[in-house]
Amino acid sequence: MAGPAPLLLDVDTGIDDSLALLYACASPDAEIVAVTCVAGNIDAQQVARNTRAVLELAGRADVEVALGRETPLVRDLVTTPETHGPLGIGYAVLPPASRPLSPRFGPDVIVEEARRRPGELTLVTLGPMTNLALAVLREPALPTLLRRWVIMGGSYRSPGNTAPTTEWNVAVDPEAARICIAAFGRPEVVGVRREAGLPSLPLAMGLDVTERAKLLPEHLAALAARAGSSAATNRVLRFIDDALRFYMEFHSRYDGFYGAFVHDPFAVAAALEPALVRTEALTVEVELGGTLTTGETVTDWRRVRGLPPTLDVAVEGDAAAFFERFIERVGGLAARVG
């Protein structure tokens, strides 16, 4: 497909979602069609405020931002202010956005845009999959209308970050994750996509690869050097520094390093450039009834169940190449918008 890749981003903004938005805004190979907001890291209303403010910071107030579902499908909402701060963006402060929210409902945006441009749009879910689950329930053909679905979520062969075996985005709304993975992994859907020349399975960026992308203080220094500025004088750099300082303090307390896992921008980068990761087609199901494992992405590595694969699970990622792109693109954006 010629030209920039059209993206739908579904976010729960969040510090690393903020970086993913900046990365998408800074990428010449991306066309941001719309952004939909879901509850996860923080409540959905605050997600919507953060998302619009970050887009305006990046000079993209023109992007439509739609509020989606404000609670998981079945469970009570759990948020994580200890990870992202009380407002979701760490120590950063942004002025309120000038553009109002879209009148459209987030899941409707996903369905309507996919119908409008069948086979063209890549949907990247960076939070719980609640909005996508509602979209699939409304339009069962959605898995054949999207060019691809890229997931930041799951823990396939690595420890979890929420419980011993579970990853946050899946654990917040495991029912939604199960609906989505089952819908996109149906053999008839995979067959239709293959015949249309589309990637046959969703790309799953789990903790196995995203936790290899550790953003460290030297990356922030390189970002400032690329921007030719500093956090003292550049709004974008100041936002990144203030947001990430909270995140780095969190990881210093709980993960033993002063830095940050930047899950979401790595997922956006892989959506734009799949060669950044190596994948394996695997059967994945979401556990709903475990005493200790609800939300686990149960992965049949030995293929003992004999079921068709449902996800292209990323098993290796080129974090160094990703950071080169992040510094070049986001540093360039900072240089342009100040």
Residue 6 pairs in a beta bridge with 31
Nearest-angstrom CA–CA distance, 213 and 215: 6
Buried b (16+ CB within 10 A) or exposed e, 112-121: ebbeeeeebb
Pairing of the two strands 148-152 and 122-125: parallel
Sequence-ordered list of residues with C-beta below 8 angstroms from that of 112, at least 6 positions apart, any chain: 104
Report CA-CA distances (Å) from 319 to 42, 120, 269, 306, 316. Answer: 27, 27, 10, 33, 9
Token readout for 192 is 């239709």
Nearest-angstrom CA–CA distance, 271 and 232: 33
Token readout for 4 is 């920039």
First CA to last CA distance, the chain: 32
Token readout for 219 is 């990356």
Nearest-angstrom CA–CA distance, 223 and 227: 6
Q: Is residue 113 within a helix (H) or strand (E), and if so which, with residue range?
A: helix 106-116
Residue of 84, 219, 251, 263 marked active site: 263
- How is 70-107 classified by DSSP, letter by letter? SS-SSSPP---HHHH-TTSSTT---PPPSSPPPSS-HH
Among this protein's residues, is 263 annotated catalytic? yes
Q: Where are the beta strands (DSSP E) in the chain?
A: 5-11, 30-37, 65-67, 122-125, 148-152, 203-205, 214-215, 260-261, 277-282, 284-286, 297-299, 311-317
What residues are annotated to the active site?
263
